[in-house]
């Protein structure tokens, strides 16, 4: 298990983060009776999960509060600079060896037993796997943000989101119409705006995911942009720092000066817009004792079942098809990353493991 650091309690740090997100979510949904009622019940489930994780920690087993599950390799868009396609993790056609409905159902149930509170559903495009999303909706104690391009929201999905409030669509947007369409495709902005309006008119909780680069930093932190999302009923904004997928895109990754500006602006936004939950990923690694991937704060399961440190670090030595989640968390790769200080250190952009990929490969003997 992870070596304990007497100066830093990662379990307490992550639990505090979960509690802040839950508290902010309750505040953001006060005017929505159904949404507020669900968030209140989830707050109780979250406390129970936190207790499970603390008991496990005291027994020498570290359980993270977050899991990222890429439930499909298939995607219906070709977004510029997509890290998943660059890693060949996303394709136009779904491979036959992806996890089945039953296998994902098992993963979700075990995560619930371990005390994992959030499972971020990703892809590819996760809404191409309606069967898996329906399975997630049955695990009421876990909140499932669905990171989606937002163009596949149909009436069946609207009905599912109404019935299963633990399913929260997080729609990708790059800023305004020009920025979004230039990265995601012509006409995508108008389609996702229409779907945001549909979600809002149905009083359904949804959020937005924004990839932060040196080019759009000021725009996506602007009062104009956030106010436009707020007016459309957006309840969460998740900022994800851009990870360069090629040497040519290094200049898009924000550095320390931009990160300081980002942190200051985020504090102001949280104060000025209590109706929105603001989350940054990966966040300030200095305050969390380093990168929280590889099971410290979260880990990733790819569409084939491989347990990976992070979507940006697609390397695995264990598969949940043949192992449990608990076994995956104590895999040799995860243990080595945690014990050899590879998760700390200076780096460019939002992912230390992306830059240290040669060291990660070396741990696997590649």
Query: What is the domain-level CATH number for residue 137?
Result: 3.20.20.70
Domain count, the chain: 1
More confident call, 203 vs 3: 203
pLDDT on residue 89: 64
Q: Is residue 89 part of a domain?
A: yes
Q: What average pLDDT does range 211-230 have in this prediction?
A: 94
Domain that holds residue 144: 10-363
Torsions phi, psi of 170, nearest 5?
-115, 105
Q: How far is CA 293 from CA 83, 88, 156, 333, 338, in A?
A: 17, 21, 34, 12, 9
- Does the pLDDT of residue 340 top 90, yes or no? no
pLDDT on residue 364: 87
Q: Is residue 2 part of a domain?
A: no
Q: Is residue 85 part of a domain?
A: yes
pLDDT on residue 18: 85
pLDDT on residue 87: 64
pLDDT on residue 5: 44
* Full-model pTM: 0.90
More confident call, 11 vs 273: 273
Q: Is residue 4 part of a domain?
A: no
Share of the chain above pLDDT 70, in %: 89
- Does the pLDDT of residue 296 top 60, yes or no? yes
Q: What average pLDDT does range 267-280 have in this prediction?
A: 91
- Does the pLDDT of residue 323 top 80, yes or no? yes
pLDDT on residue 291: 83
Q: What average pLDDT does range 148-171 have in this prediction?
A: 96
Q: Is residue 218 part of a domain?
A: yes
pLDDT in tens, 75-98: 877 777 666 666 666 666 667 789
pLDDT on residue 6: 44
Q: Is residue 1 part of a domain?
A: no
- Does the pLDDT of residue 50 top 90, yes or no? yes
Q: What average pLDDT does range 244-267 have in this prediction?
A: 83
348 confidence band (pLDDT: 50, 70, 90): low
Average pLDDT, the chain: 88
pLDDT on residue 81: 67
pLDDT in tens, 303-315: 999 999 998 888 9
Q: Is residue 3 part of a domain?
A: no
4 confidence band (pLDDT: 50, 70, 90): very low
Q: Which of 101-105, 118-122, 336-340 has the lowest mean pLDDT?
A: 336-340
Q: What average pLDDT does range 189-194 have in this prediction?
A: 96
Pairing of strands 167-172, 300-301: unpaired
- Does the pLDDT of residue 250 top 70, yes or no? yes
Share of the chain above pLDDT 90, in %: 56
3 confidence band (pLDDT: 50, 70, 90): very low
pLDDT in tens, 112-142: 999 999 999 999 999 999 999 999 999 999 9
Q: What average pLDDT does range 195-209 have in this prediction?
A: 94
Q: Is residue 112 part of a domain?
A: yes
């Amino acid at each position: 298990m992870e070596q304990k650091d007497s100066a830093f309690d990662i379990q307490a740090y992550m639990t505090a983060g979960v509690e802040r997100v839950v508290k902010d979510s309750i505040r953001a949904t006060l005017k929505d009776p159904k949404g507020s009622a669900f968030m209140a019940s989830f707050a109780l489930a979250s406390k129970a999960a936190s207790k499970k994780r603390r008991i496990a920690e005291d027994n020498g087993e570290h359980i993270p509060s977050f899991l990222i599950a890429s439930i499909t390799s298939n995607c219906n868009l070709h977004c510029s600079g997509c890290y998943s396609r660059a890693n060949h993790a996303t394709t136009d056609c779904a491979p036959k060896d992806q996890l089945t409905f039953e296998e994902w159902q098992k993963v979700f149930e075990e995560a619930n037993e371990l005390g994992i509170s959030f499972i971020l559903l990703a892809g590819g495009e996760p809404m191409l796997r309606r069967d898996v999303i329906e399975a997630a909706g049955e695990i009421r104690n876990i909140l499932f943000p669905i990171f989606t391009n937002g163009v596949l929201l149909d009436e069946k999905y609207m009905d599912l989101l109404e019935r299963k409030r633990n399913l929260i669509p997080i729609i990708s947007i790059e800023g305004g119409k020009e920025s979004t369409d230039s990265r995601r495709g012509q006409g995508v902005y108008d389609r996702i705006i229409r779907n945001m309006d549909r979600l809002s008119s149905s009083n359904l909780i949804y959020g937005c995911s924004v990839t932060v680069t040196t080019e759009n930093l000021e725009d996506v932190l602007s009062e104009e942009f956030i106010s436009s999302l707020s007016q459309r009923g957006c309840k969460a904004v998740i900022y994800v720092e851009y990870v360069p997928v090629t040497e040519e895109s290094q200049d898009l990754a924000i550095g320390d000066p931009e990160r300081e500006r980002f942190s200051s602006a985020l504090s102001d936004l949280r104060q000025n817009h209590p109706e929105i939950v603001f989350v940054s990923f990966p966040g300030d690694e200095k305050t969390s004792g380093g990168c929280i991937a590889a099971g410290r704060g979260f880990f990733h399961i790819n569409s084939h079942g491989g347990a990976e440190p992070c979507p940006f670090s697609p390397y695995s030595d264990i598969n949940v098809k043949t192992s449990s989640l608990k076994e995956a968390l104590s895999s040799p790769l995860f243990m080595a990353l945690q014990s050899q200080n590879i998760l700390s250190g200076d780096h460019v952009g939002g992912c230390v493991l992306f830059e240290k990929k040669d060291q990660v490969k070396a741990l696997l003997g590649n």
